[in-house]
Amino acid sequence: MNAMTTLKDSCLTKTDGLPFFSGLKIDEIEPTVKQTIADNKALIAQKLTELETYTWDNFVAVIDEADDHLSKLWSPVSHMNSVVSNDELRIAHDACLGIFSEYGTFLGQHQGLYEAYLSIANSAEFTELKGEQQKVIENALRNFKLAGIALDDDKKQRYGEIQQQLSQLQSSFSNNVMDATLAWSKLVEDLDTLSGLPKTAIAAAKQAAEEKELAGYLFTLDFPSYLAVMTYADNRELRKEVYTAFATRASDQGPNANEFDNSETIEKILALRHELAQLLDFNDYGEYSLATKMAEKPEQVIDFLNELAEKSTQQAREERDNVLAFAKEKDGLETLQAWDLSYYAELLKQQRYKISDEELRPYFPENKVVSGLFDVVHRLFDLSIKESKEVDLWHSDARFFEIYNRQKEHIGSFYLDLYARAHKRGGAWMNNCRSRRRKVDGSLQLPVAYLTCNFNKPVGDQPALFTHDEVVTLFHEFGHGIHHMLTKVESSDVSGINGVPWDAVELPSQFLENWCWEPEALALISGHVDTGDTLPADLLKKMLEAKNYNSALQMVRQLEFSLFDFILHHQYKVGEEGQAQKVISEIRKKVAVIEAPEFNRFQHSFSHIFAGGYAAGYYSYKWAEVLSADAFSKFEENGIFDAETGRSFLTNILEKGGSEEPMTLFKAFMGREPSIDALLRHSGIK
């Protein structure tokens, strides 16, 4: 494993082992990936040949080190393709997807590897291994089966072909969404057209136009720009135009119809996933998906989502009717269109609670929110966080921080990239840059995370000002981050977020959101951009009163997405075209309370399930929200900054990573199994 090619020098700094983004040489990516994978394959063959007895130290740890090296080579490439993409990088990135897919299949179907892991599991040494090491072996044996180790040669070959095709199709889906988002913009020259929009949104649109050397105000489909129009624009035609462009991205409808159309890509992805599941003796992809999750059967997931829908739909209808009555009284509307709901809901909220997101925005400047977030986790888990300026970054917006524990030991690090920009994938996410692991030489590799959002950037001399929703998003992603960075597990396959069942991985992220609503925490994360004053008592009172405004509407929207995803994969019908549209239409009849227009093609940009890891797993957000709301109830009882409760959550949940089953960890923290009641109470659903 000493054949290190030039990508090491162009992608990794030689001093701190962190990615060297500015030195990335695109033409070296594909040959280096190929060479490193060839080295890894040669190492496996060598070890399988020379060893008579397989142990953790002489086999598992050595193979893991080789794959960790490959992961560290690929990490900056994959990340930059998401945050500063360009045509050359995308081509190089996508050229490697099939290579990685083939390597994954090679590992998963390697009989010698499987037998080596099996021999360790059956050996006397197994009982002497640490619990986390046993979990790695057990997970590996499960994953061999899910990779088709028991298939005959023809089916193994087909499995590999499917995985390669899925890898390319999912990347194509993501690329189409990014291209469609970039392809549309709206230049408004008449300021009167923007009546109702807050000054911050108008200033951002003016700055966006100036950056393109245009006169006027430029609106895009980047989420902050889209959301501002949908929430505040008095001009109904403008709202409709922007909504139409956003809701038809990468589809056969709308202003760029058929140009970046994901219709065929969706059909192929669904067909291949179903074939893959049946190849492995599952009835469908829904069943296959649950093989690695907390939920055990499809019926369990569907019943869970339907129960939440039953408890939420009536209240959601009442909330919709309240907005409609307000819109009728104000502007004579007889029906609410999809582009009306957010606008009139915001006006009604302002009337009812005398508060708006824009009124709160000056109290959440970036520097105060970020430092307040660090203060919150310091009080909860006795951590300190310091920025480092001596690190190579991919963009001037990005920053780098190090985390220290109560003993002042450096335990992890993270990159932070908060602003929306062109050629950056939409949404917010946390990703793994490095995993915590004990190296073969005995040294400890510390975890590093990427934390990425898409908020409005600073305008002029003013710092970035966040809405409270954006503050919640930041806390959410940081919850994922601390799950990854505070782990004490030293086996990379189950350290941090690795090996955590998908329907439990949202527990820490949704858990941390709760502090955004607590007066004691809000005093830390708010400070007026001009005066530094924390959120005044009257605004805080109004904000808390408005917390669950239209919460049932938000609940049924998430249930619509979750049911669509799971039923689409669980009840897939071979050979039937257009199933995605049929299924989402049926789900909407059951749970949606606002009728979507005929042209709506939400599914064509639903990257979570067609390009991300949430296929037949989007329900995980609600599943884990039950866990997180219930876990937070313990802080409500003991105090939101109670040191003992914080330490218990740290030791029972965050530090354990994927080394034990989530239900075991949850019961260790709570002393019982989870209850749905806390979620409904927190959501204000009766």
Q: What angle do CA 668, 672, 678 make, to 5 degrees?
A: 115
**pLDDT in the model for residue 19:** 96
Q: What angle do CA 528, 532, 534 make, to 5 degrees?
A: 70
| Over residues 93-121, mean pLDDT | 97
Whether 445 contacts 436, CB under 8 Å: yes
- Among positive and negative, which fits the CA dihedral 78, 79, 83, 89? negative
Tell me which residue of 78, 100, 74 sits closest to 89, measured CA to CA: 78
470 and 536 housed in the same domain: yes
Question: Which residues is 186 bridged to in the sheet?
Answer: 219
**pLDDT in the model for residue 661:** 96
Tell me which residue of 393, 418, 551 sits closest to 475, measured CA to CA: 418
388 and 513 housed in the same domain: yes
Number of domains observed in the structure of the chain: 4
pLDDT class of 16 with cuts at 50, 70, 90:
low
pLDDT by residue (tens digit) across 446-473? 999 999 999 999 999 999 999 999 999 9
58 and 207 housed in the same domain: no
Tell me which residue of 119, 146, 147 sits closest to 56, measured CA to CA: 119
Tell me which residue of 110, 128, 30 sits closest to 63, measured CA to CA: 110
Whether 213 contacts 207, CB under 8 Å: no
399 and 376 housed in the same domain: yes
131 and 11 housed in the same domain: yes
- Among positive and negative, which fits the CA dihedral 125, 127, 131, 135? positive
Whether 445 contacts 434, CB under 8 Å: yes
| Over residues 620-637, mean pLDDT | 96
**Single residue among 618, 644, 664 that ends a domain in this structure:** 618
* Backbone φ and ψ of 548, nearest 5°: -100, 20
- Among positive and negative, which fits the CA dihedral 419, 423, 429, 431? negative
**Single residue among 618, 646, 669 that ends a domain in this structure:** 618
Distance CA 195, CA 186 (A): 16
Lowest mean pLDDT, pick from 4-18, 47-61, 210-224, 493-507? 4-18
Give me 339's structure tokens.
């582009």
Alpha carbon distances (Å) from 453 to 466, 473, 545, 580: 12, 8, 27, 28
**pLDDT in the model for residue 14:** 39
pLDDT class of 686 with cuts at 50, 70, 90:
confident
Range of the domain at 276: 263-355+551-618
pLDDT class of 7 with cuts at 50, 70, 90:
very low
Give me 458's structure tokens.
């600073």
**Which positions are catalytic?**
477
Tell me which residue of 674, 662, 284, 652 sits closest to 501, measured CA to CA: 662
Domain CATH for 51: 1.20.1050.40
- HSE-CB at 78 with a 13 A cutoff on CA atoms is 15
pLDDT class of 3 with cuts at 50, 70, 90:
very low
350 and 370 housed in the same domain: no
566 and 649 housed in the same domain: no
**pLDDT in the model for residue 131:** 98
Whether 611 contacts 551, CB under 8 Å: no
**pLDDT in the model for residue 6:** 39
In a domain, 414, yes or no: yes
In a domain, 593, yes or no: yes
Give me 95's structure tokens.
């050229």
pLDDT by residue (tens digit) across 29-74? 999 999 999 999 999 999 999 999 999 999 999 999 999 999 999 9
| Over residues 150-161, mean pLDDT | 97
366 and 239 housed in the same domain: no
409 and 443 housed in the same domain: yes
347 and 391 housed in the same domain: no
In a domain, 177, yes or no: no
**pLDDT in the model for residue 684:** 92
pLDDT class of 8 with cuts at 50, 70, 90:
very low
402 and 423 housed in the same domain: yes
Distance CA 11, CA 308 (A): 47
Number of helices and strands in the chain (H, E): 27, 9
In a domain, 283, yes or no: yes
